[in-house]
Amino acid sequence: MANDFVKKLTEANFEQDVLKSDKPVLVDFWASWCGPCRMVSPLIDQLAEEFDGRAVVGKVNVDEEGPLAIRYNVMTIPTVIIFKNGEVLDQVSGAYPKAHFEEMLNKAL
């Protein structure tokens, strides 16, 4: 991932970086072969930079981290989940405009 603001989330760091975060966390479940994921990815990258310091933005590659996708019932990708205080606050599946994800994050702040 080229973006320094986006955390690569794995089973190893998920609890620490997402569930124990003191800030809201946007998690993008994606895969490299998924067309809509490729459309959403740059938007997520922009949000990571814009919300830096206020929220955490991370990505889970479902091909590499299958158990995480299963744990959060991710059936279609992209799926974006907002976590706050270790709980799922909001969730959408599919490609949405950046403003939609922005609104989700703002509600969590």
* pLDDT tens sequence across 50-96: 999 999 999 999 999 999 999 999 999 999 999 999 999 999 999 99
| Cα–Cα separations (whole angstroms), residue 108 to 3, 22, 53, 55, 84 | 23, 12, 14, 9, 7
42 noted as active-site residue: no
Average pLDDT, the chain: 96
Active-site residue, from 34, 40, 48, 60: 34
37 noted as active-site residue: yes
Instruction: Record the tokens describing residue 20, joined without a space.
Output: 């124990």
